[in-house]
Amino acid sequence: GQQLNQSPQSMFIQEGEDVSMNCTSSSIFNTWLWYKQDPGEGPVLLIALYKAGELTSNGRLTAQFGITRKDSFLNISASIPSDVGIYFCAGQLGASGYGGSQGNLIFGKGTKLSVKP
């Protein structure tokens, strides 16, 4: 199946630092979503983006839908210890769908945030 290229795969953060991660694809998406997963739990939706160029914030989190509709990024400002976890991007294709079914989400492999030792 199709996949999104998410980077970096992992990163270490120190409290107070800003964090950036992004996802790219060879396909055009009409929706980009960002999720966070805490250890041992299911992912929780953070931000949803629906228009090219759209910039949306949720507290210290800011995400943008790329102009080309093939990428998205997520920024976390002034990180705190509870920001650790795995962040996933997800995209929804248009009419061409996925696996024959319109509308299924495609997920990146995740960016794992850990605290600097």
Partner 1 sequence: DGGITQSPKYLFRKEGQNVTLSCEQNLNHDAMYWYRQDPGQGLRLIYYSQIVNDFQKGDIAEGYSVSREKKESFPLTVTSAQKNPTAFYLCASSNPRGARYGYTFGSGTRLTVV
* Residues found near partner 1 in the complex (CB under 8 A): 1, 3, 6, 9, 30-31, 33, 35, 40-45, 48, 50, 88, 90, 92, 99-105, 107-110
Q: Check: CB of residue 61 under 8 Å from CB of residue 109.
A: no
| Residue 66 burial (CB count, 10 A) | 19
- In terms of CB distance, is 11 or 17 closer to partner 1? 11
CB of 20 to partner 1, least distance (A): 19
| CA distances for 107 relative to 2, 55, 92, 111, angstroms | 9, 20, 9, 12
CB of 115 to partner 1, least distance (A): 18
- In terms of CB distance, is 66 or 110 closer to partner 1? 110
- Helix/strand/coil percentages in the chain, nearest 5: 5, 55, 45
- In terms of CB distance, is 45 or 115 closer to partner 1? 45
- In terms of CB distance, is 16 or 41 closer to partner 1? 41
Give the per-residue SS3 of 73-86: EEEECCCCHHHCEE
CB of 78 to partner 1, least distance (A): 26
CB of 7 to partner 1, least distance (A): 13
Q: Check: CB of residue 36 under 8 Å from CB of residue 112.
A: no
